[in-house]
Structure 1
Amino acid sequence: MISQNIAILGPGSWGTALSQVLTDNGHHVILYGDSPAQIAEINEQHTNKRFFKDIVLDERIHASTDLKEVLKNADTILFVVPTKATRLVAKQVARVLDHKVHILHASKGLEQGSHERISTILEEEIPAELRGEITVVSGPSHAEETIVRDITLISAASKNQKDAKYAQELLSNDYMRLYTNTDVVGVETAGALKNIIAVGAGALHGLGFGDNAKAAIITRGLAEITRLGVAMGAQPLTYIGLSGVGDLIVTGTSKHSRNWRAGDALGRGEKLADIEANMGMVIEGVSTCKAAYELSQALDIEMPITETIYKVLYEGLEPRKGILGMMRREAKQENEFD
């Protein structure tokens, strides 16, 4: 692939890691953010210490607070902003973008209130004549590992196979491998909903439970993620792929995961407000849990783990009591899938 001009919106941990991947691949990368101090640090010191204390970024990576400048010559726009900011940033892009581009996103969540997936938000806010089909980049990928060029395999999903193939070629290299997929609903819901289960897995650890409980919540969590996703139009097999079980494993078992760490702190008795204040980064599983719970109620989909985590986060249920309640649920056959 010939060198592309890539605008990455969101200089967080994953946006920064992807900027390094794309620069390694010979593309021209410019990061957009709204913090002048952070942008100056990236440009002048070639670091982003809020997220990576010991990493020196490639000097070819530039950053700016001027969205119009960032988009001026862009071939591709990669959204890596928190879910709650996606619609606002998309509106800003639509106002200043004056040519057609490829649009990718690498965020994971459901919008509060509307319960919409991120690609749907981008489709609504950015006119079709300015873009191709949205491509979702998602899978088991800790930024802390990708930025040091550890092996990472993820999915690129788009309604148009050609757009998915473009993302595959754009990002793939010796340590990053992408597989294409056309099940956008499945890839997005898997990436969003696994954060909820990761909060629960962390809580189990914080409460002192072991590997048996970890395996249980990941397995049964995957079952209810799949139930909701299929009800939304996803293909069941997507959930046993990289963006499904792969991402669930990496997020539900690792201290790199802010969702797991948040759950761990909840299990140890910390208050959610304190956890969010101390994290310094968005905990997508918290807001997504509310959206997913409301969506499951509207679609009449049974999601006992999500419901329990929702009650812990939003109704003050004590985590240990929540676990006991799930264990005492009516006995089921496993192939009932609920």
Structure 2
Amino acid sequence: MVKRVVVLGCGAWGTATVKLVADNVKSSKEFHEEVYWYVRDEDCNGRSLTTWINQEHINPKYLPTLDIPSNVSASSNIQKVVEEADIILVSYPSCYILWLVENVKKFIKDGAYFVSFCKKVVEEADIILVSYPSCYILWLVENVKKFIKDGAYFVSFCKGLILCPEENRIKLVSDVIREQTGKSCVVVIGATTAVEVAKQHFTEATIGSKNLTYAHEVKRLLQSDYLKLVITQDDVGVELCGALKNVVAIAAGICHGLDLGDNTKAAVLRIGFWEVSELMKELFPDRGMFAFTSIFHTSFY
């Protein structure tokens, strides 16, 4: 069966993602050639954003110099995008993940899965790529969940954690997607920037998923000459490191700015990653060993 891939999120990462996927599926017999793209429509220089994308093949708001392939179909109708999706790629800010999941879960078909990351755009999708800031995920999921067909799944590129004060806990973006939609969610995380991916600079990232069938499918979908992907089943470790590493990076940057020397910077990195590992155990004590995190943190000893 040829699988349909959709992308949710039209920021810089969403734009880079949709180009990468659209280029890859053109030569694939495994995935549908047309890629649906959910775009929150707005006016840009007197024309709607979807019109710019579908007619001029550019996103004038984000990465305006990037040519968007002609096999990309942008829509502001969330049902159309997700209800036939098999793989849903999510690129949203983590603070919006709850909204996102709440809005898409009623449209997702059985068997679809997320990679963690509307009514008329998702209804035929098999794979839904989400590239939204995490702060919008709740909004996004709320709008697409009712349209997603059986068998579809999500792929999330979202970096961040979601604070749920009503439950007095912090949640992963992928957990919110799974809980709200009942669909699987694969995460793709790395030290990456959208602009450099769009420019086809060499980039490496990690796919985290307990389901290796989905993980390898996502790798076939996304990997290219300039994007290399590795797979781990430690999806929790990958997602948490993607969010928490930035705290350590800021501390290392302060050391550099104050000219404290390489020894101090190395100490901040080593202790910082150890603290990340300990925090992960505290936040998710029921998730078992973090294989990815152990490699991540012991490499500094």
SS of residue matched to 2:161: coil
Distance 1:210 1:56 in 2: 43
Equivalent residue for 1:33?
39
| Aligned amino acid, residue 238 of structure 1 | F
Distance 1:108 1:57 in 2: 24
SS of residue matched to 1:163: helix
Aligned partner of 1:69 among 63, 66, 80: 80
Equivalent residue for 2:292?
238
Please state if 1:97 is matched with 2:147.
yes
Greater strand percent: which structure? Answer: 2
Distance 2:187 2:14 in 1: 14
Greater helix percent: which structure? Answer: 1
Distance 1:149 1:158 in 2: 25
Aligned partner of 1:43 among 36, 39, 54: 54
Distance 2:252 2:234 in 1: 27
| Aligned amino acid, residue 99 of structure 1 | K
Distance 1:150 1:3 in 2: 30
CA contact (8 A) 1:14 1:143 kept: yes
Give the CA deviation at 1:10.
0.7
What per-residue deviation string (whole Å, max 9, x for no partner) do you get for residues 191-217 of structure 1? 111122233344445556565554443
Give the CA deviation at 1:236.
4.6
Distance 1:46 1:215 in 2: 45
Equivalent residue for 1:85?
96
Distance 1:76 1:86 in 2: 17
Give the CA deviation at 1:82.
0.6
Distance 2:7 2:54 in 1: 15
Aligned partner of 2:177 among 122, 128, 144: 122
Give the CA deviation at 1:187.
0.7
The answer to which of 207-216 and 86-95 deviates more is: 207-216
Query: Which sections of structure 1, spanning at least 5 residues, go unmatched?
Result: 246-333
Change over 3 Å in CA distance of 1:201–1:68 after alignment to 2: same
Distance 1:48 1:234 in 2: 42
| Aligned amino acid, residue 151 of structure 1 | F
SS of residue matched to 1:63: strand
Distance 1:71 1:97 in 2: 6
Distance 1:80 1:173 in 2: 19
SS of residue matched to 1:159: coil
Aligned partner of 2:198 among 140, 147, 157: 147
Query: Which sections of structure 2, spanning at least 5 residues, go unmatched?
Result: 26-32, 44-48, 107-145
TM-score by length of 2: 0.71
| Aligned amino acid, residue 126 of structure 1 | T
Distance 1:13 1:157 in 2: 22
The answer to which of 117-126 and 228-237 deviates more is: 228-237
SS of residue matched to 1:16: helix
What per-residue deviation string (whole Å, max 9, x for no partner) do you get for residues 207-230 of structure 1? 565655544433332221122224
| Aligned amino acid, residue 20 of structure 2 | V
CA contact (8 A) 1:6 1:74 kept: yes
| Aligned amino acid, residue 181 of structure 2 | I
Distance 1:230 1:82 in 2: 24
Instruction: Count matched residues.
Output: 240
The answer to which of 211-220 and 30-39 deviates more is: 211-220
Aligned partner of 2:63 among 52, 55, 58: 52
SS of residue matched to 2:61: coil
Q: Percent identity?
A: 29
Change over 3 Å in CA distance of 1:173–1:35 after alignment to 2: same
What per-residue deviation string (whole Å, max 9, x for no partner) do you get for residues 118-177 of structure 1? 1111111002xxx3x321111222211111222222111112222212211221222222
CA contact (8 A) 2:234 2:291 kept: no
Give the number of the structure whose alpha-carbon radius of gyration is greater: 1
Change over 3 Å in CA distance of 1:181–1:45 after alignment to 2: same
What per-residue deviation string (whole Å, max 9, x for no partner) do you get for residues 61-120 of structure 1? 221111011124322111111101001110110133242202111101110233101111
Equivalent residue for 1:7?
6
Distance 2:288 2:192 in 1: 22
The answer to which of 88-97 and 170-179 deviates more is: 170-179
| Aligned amino acid, residue 143 of structure 1 | A
CA contact (8 A) 2:79 2:148 kept: no
Equivalent residue for 2:22?
23
